[in-house]
Amino acid sequence: MSALDVHQLEEIAVKIREDIIQMLVTAGSGHSAGPLGMADVFVALYFNILNIDPKNPTDPNRDRLVLSNGHICPVLYATMAHAGFFPKEELKTLRKLGSRLQGHPHRETLPGLETTSGPLGSGLSQAGGMALAGKMNQAKWRVYCLMSDGEQDAGNTWEAVMWIAKFKLHNLTVLIDRNNIQIDGFTEDVMPLEPLKEKYEAFGWHVLEVDGHNFEQIIDAFNQAKAIFEKPTVIIAHTIPGKGVDFMENDFKWHGVPPGVSNMPGEPPKEEQAKIALKELRTLQGKIRSEHE
């Protein structure tokens, strides 16, 4: 796919956030904070970084993307729809019985998915296996793995970290969504992760840190990773959970709850949550357009 400029990427990201809200409201279940926070990363990947073709999703020369934290799949589905993998109208079927858009991605039901995800921590091992196969075959395609910071709690994550470093899988780039929340609270309260950068460096990885809402930094980091040949690269992307919706931002209570399901202390009434969220996002969309006209 041809790369888009930053202004175009910003507009697409806001549209995807609107789709996420509408998908979750229609489904009546699902995760809000993570998908909203990762919209910019997904847009950068699908519209600038990944070597993919929506019309030929099984191209053997394609890049592989593994979503380890499968619960944020609304942002994956919305981005894939905007990229042309399937009709946008299908987004309304999220989590419905018989839908291709399951609550966690299911590889055999939707073209363009590389893995079935669910258990946190397993995605990095899957991505590592793909990367080793690619390296053995001297393939030009790359593997990208997206992880949550919360799943750094899982022991199998660190087994994969060691194994990938052992084989110097430079054709693998990992991005950690460092949004500082998980379902039970803030990560540093549940299971402290810092110093995360130094931990990965100690395990033999090249580490980059970026603002996960700055397209130039995100794209530059992914491109830098392509130039590292002696070790795998991990990008720690600092994001705001619930990005774009004021009452959701940085609030762990929205980790696994959609708008319109429950009244929360200090939050808008559940009947108004989706309306307020969409209004904020559409205002942001208008602001972006006016800035670049």
Question: Mind listing the pLDDT tens digit for each residue in 53-76?
Answer: 999 999 999 999 999 999 999 999
Tell me phi and psi for residue 80, to 5 degrees: -60, -40
Per-residue pLDDT, 1: 54
Domains of the chain by residue range: 6-291
Distance between first and last Cα of the chain: 25
Do 165 and 203 meet the contact criterion of CB atoms below 8 Å apart?
Answer: yes
pLDDT at 241 (0 to 100): 98
Return d(Cα 114, Cα 195) in angstroms, integer: 31
Radius of gyration of the chain (CA): 18
The CATH topology of domain 6-291 is: Rossmann fold (3.40.50)
Return the structure tokens found at 271.
């009947």
Which pLDDT does position 122 carry in this prediction? 95
Residue 178: what are its φ and ψ, rounded to 5°? -90, 75
- The string of DSSP codes covering 85-101 is SS-GGGGGGTT-TT-SS
Asked whether 5 and 207 are in contact (CB, 8 A), the reply is no
Query: SS3 of 151, please?
Result: helix
The count of other CB atoms within 10 Å of the CB of residue 86 is 18
Residue at 283: amino acid letter: T
pLDDT at 81: 98
Q: Quick one: tokens of 189? A: 């309260």
Neighbouring residues of 225: CB distance < 8 A, sequence distance ≥ 6: 173, 206, 208, 233, 235
pTM, full prediction: 0.96
Shortest CA distance to 155 belongs to which of 189, 187, 119?
A: 119
Q: Quick one: tokens of 144?
A: 């990208």
- Taking phi over 0 as left and psi of -120 to 50 as alpha, with beta for the rest, 242 belongs to left
Q: What span, in angstroms and rounded, lies between the C-alpha atoms of 54 and 262?
A: 37
Q: How far apart are CA 185 and CA 112, in angstroms?
A: 33
Q: Which helix (H) or strand (E) holds 165?
A: helix 155-166
pLDDT at 47: 97
**CA gap 254, 34 in Å, rounded:** 9
| pLDDT value of residue 19 | 98
Question: How far, in Å, CA of 131 to CA of 268, rounded?
Answer: 45
Low-confidence ranges of the chain (pLDDT < 70): 1-2, 293
The one-letter amino acid at 267: E
The continuous run of DSSP H or E covering 284 comes out as: helix 270-291
Spatial separation of the C-alpha atoms in residues 287 and 21, rounded to whole Å: 19
CB 168 within 8 A of CB 195: no
